[in-house]
Amino acid sequence: MKLFNSLTRQKEEFIPIENKKVRFYSCGQTIYLDVHLGNVRTYSYWDVLVRYLRWRGFDVFWVQNITDVGHLTDDADSGEDRIVKTARDKNLEPMVLVETQIKRFFEDIDALNIQRADVYPRATGHIPEMIDFISELLKKGYAYVVNGSVYFDVHKFPSYGELSPSSYSEESAGVRVAVNPEKRNPRDFALWIKAPPNYLMKWPSPWGLGYPGWHLECSVMSQKYLGDTLDIHSGGIEHLMLHHPNEIAQSEARTGKKFVNYWIHANHLIVNGRKMSKSLGNYILIRDLLKKYDPTAIRFFLINSHYRKNLDFNEDAFKEAQNLLTRIKNTLTLIGQIPGGEETTLTADLEILETEFIQAMDDDLNTVAAIQSIMKFIRKLNFALENQRKTVLDVSKGKIIELLEILGITLETANMEQNKGELVESLVDLLINVREDLRKAKMFGISDKIRSNLSKLGIILEDKGTGTIWKKQ
């Protein structure tokens, strides 16, 4: 499989460090508001990546953080902790907000069939590890303490900004935010932040009462569970400029080893030309969207675009996704409703489907091409259905369900079966009514034909004084 590695800016063959084992970390949610469509666009891809790798026989260990402290309103260490601020606005204890939001986070991702990671470490649960990490950086001379806060000195780490060279611009740091006078260099970033008086979210440390910096959390939690070097680290494209270069600097400074072999970044969901974001207020919450749209259609919409392209949110694209899904469901529902027939050449087409699907997914997770391979096969299935070629259709149905599952689209086959059962019952009832009318009109020839043909299909009609009943043979 090839993945576009943001570090080398090219597609590279994916080779894990250890045989088939994959150590995967994805940046997760800062847990102060409900999940919006932009968040799940990114999460859907990591889910699909994990599903696909597992399907190809890799043993994936997936960690995704939950940030419950330390993410300030501006990513570059200024402003206020997002959780503390929101909790105050809502008149809640910060940890009450966190508990509520975690519960709602899982409700939302479960509703969208986004698989859960193996571990969801919370920043507040790893304070001792963070203090140890910072102590090591101080001992090695990569960090410095000023007035109860600790900063990473980017000038001590010569390859800083390798992931995105433009991020290493001291002027740009100064332009975005007023540079904190405690920092030696504008690009230095906080590892530990001194807590203001009366602050609830604080912990004792060798440097006084404070809390960890957001960038530090991901390094500490990924390395705790996955080791010094990860196979894949993913996140939204905005992390390319600051969060991820900072993660690399502090992790590699500590271990002296490469932190991540493959960095992958997902582009954004866009609304009217701007990133959907909590701070812009142009977001659509998943729980609101679910009032209007089927979760499977939402998933289909999200996945029907390449992860390295922006995706525009608009109703038409949504309807298009819903239509494609309906076409697939219609075809699969028809399978099994037709009587037996001859063998077909679909076996060869099935192999083509699987080959094309794998080629697409191996090419940097090209979910769009993967969906196209499925739609092409659906057209062939429709043709075979018209010609009543049943034998290979059941296998085809199973294969489509299997491949869609890798894309996070779980079709409710149980429902489809139930609908089919209900449909059969209604049709038999309808035939009984028609036969009744035919008999009243003394058209016994046709009414007898209905009874004998139903009997060939295993449905026995019994005429009683109260009307006709039917049973399966």
| CA 95/CA 115 separation, integer angstroms | 25
Q: How far is the CB of 191 from Zn ion (least distance, A)?
A: 14
Q: Binds 380, which of ligand AMP, Zn ion, none (CB < 5 to 8 A, cut-off by type)? A: none
Nearer to ligand AMP, 144 or 262 (CB): 262
CB atoms closer than 10 angstroms to residue 130: 25
Using the contact rule CB under 6 A, the part of the chain among 35-43, 146-154, 252-260, 318-326 near ligand AMP is 35-43
Count residues contacting ligand AMP (CB under 6 A)?
A: 15
Q: Binds 233, which of Zn ion, ligand AMP, none (CB < 5 to 8 A, cut-off by type)? A: none
Q: Which of 3, 7, 27, 117 binds Zn ion (CB under 5 A)?
A: 27
Nearer to Zn ion, 27 or 232 (CB): 27
Q: Which of 6, 29, 219, 304 binds ligand AMP (CB under 6 A)?
A: 29
| CA 269/CA 316 separation, integer angstroms | 15
Using the contact rule CB under 6 A, the part of the chain among 24-32, 88-96, 176-184, 186-194 near ligand AMP is 24-32
Count of residues making up the chain: 473
Q: How far is the CB of 239 from Zn ion (least distance, A)?
A: 6
Q: Which of 3, 5, 6, 30 binds ligand AMP (CB under 6 A)?
A: 30
Nearer to Zn ion, 219 or 296 (CB): 219
| CA 405/CA 399 separation, integer angstroms | 10
Nearer to ligand AMP, 89 or 462 (CB): 89
Q: Binds 268, which of ligand AMP, Zn ion, none (CB < 5 to 8 A, cut-off by type)? A: ligand AMP
Nearer to Zn ion, 202 or 233 (CB): 233
Q: Does 406 bind ligand AMP (CB under 6 A)?
A: no
Nearer to ligand AMP, 68 or 153 (CB): 68
| Residues 265-324 close enough to bind ligand AMP by CB under 6 A | 268-269, 275-277
Q: Does 41 bind ligand AMP (CB under 6 A)?
A: yes
Nearer to Zn ion, 73 or 330 (CB): 73
| CA 80/CA 435 separation, integer angstroms | 76
Q: Binds 42, which of Zn ion, ligand AMP, none (CB < 5 to 8 A, cut-off by type)? A: ligand AMP
Q: How far is the CB of 216 from ligand AMP (least distance, A)?
A: 15
| CA 215/CA 71 separation, integer angstroms | 8
| Residues 230-259 close enough to bind ligand AMP by CB under 6 A | 235-236, 238
* Cα three-residue angle 1-65-284, rounded to 5 degrees: 90
Nearer to ligand AMP, 29 or 344 (CB): 29
Give which of 14, 12, 17 is closest to 259, Cα–Cα: 17
| Residues 349-378 close enough to bind ligand AMP by CB under 6 A | none
Q: Which of 5, 7, 14, 42 binds ligand AMP (CB under 6 A)?
A: 42
Site string for Zn ion, 203-242 (x = CB under 5 A): ---------------x------------------------
Give which of 108, 40, 54, 36 is closest to 303, Cα–Cα: 40
Q: Binds 246, which of Zn ion, ligand AMP, none (CB < 5 to 8 A, cut-off by type)? A: none
Give which of 222, 219, 217 is closest to 61, Cα–Cα: 222
User: Is the alpha carbon torsion for 12, 372, 337, 351 positive or negative?
Assistant: negative
Strand order through the sheet with 260-266: 59-67, 21-30, 230-236, 260-266
Phi-psi region of 340 (alpha: psi -120 to 50; beta: other; left: phi over 0): beta
| Residues 414-433 close enough to bind ligand AMP by CB under 6 A | none
Nearer to ligand AMP, 40 or 406 (CB): 40
Phi-psi region of 227 (alpha: psi -120 to 50; beta: other; left: phi over 0): left
| Residues 176-235 close enough to bind ligand AMP by CB under 6 A | 235
Q: Binds 5, which of Zn ion, ligand AMP, none (CB < 5 to 8 A, cut-off by type)? A: none
Contact set with ligand AMP (CB under 6 A) = 27, 29-30, 38-39, 41-42, 235-236, 238, 268-269, 275-277
